[in-house]
Amino acid sequence: MPMKSSRPAKASRAKRAECESVQFAEVEFASPVVPRLVIQFSDGLSVLVEDERSVPLAAAFIAAFRAHEKGGAR
């Protein structure tokens, strides 16, 4: 006489989900917040300095802007 198994009988497997489509999608993730220096002038001009590498360029721009405002070469 065969021995009975102590395991319960297997229940019927649930139906697996089937893939219906595959496509590419553009997903926007929130980017990390990076503080930046904003220099504002009285006439409404603002200079945004991204990081320390941008400081020399910002300084040169501000100097040229001030020279132009004072009647420098045009």
Dist. CA 67–CA 44, nearest whole Å: 17
> What residues form DSSP beta bridges with 38?
48
Query: Using one digit for the tens of pLDDT, what is the confidence trace for 10-36?
Result: 666 778 777 777 888 888 888 888 889
Instruction: State the pTM of this model.
Output: 0.49
Handedness of CA 69, 70, 72, 74 (dihedral sign): positive
User: Phi and psi of 46, rounded to 5°?
Assistant: -125, 140
**How much is the pLDDT for 72?**
57
> What residues form DSSP beta bridges with 37?
49
Whether pLDDT at 1 is above 60: no
**How much is the pLDDT for 57?**
92
Give the angle subtended at the CA of 57 by the CAs of 54 and 58, to the nearest 5°: 80
Identify the residue with better confidence: 31 or 74.
31
**How much is the pLDDT for 19?**
78
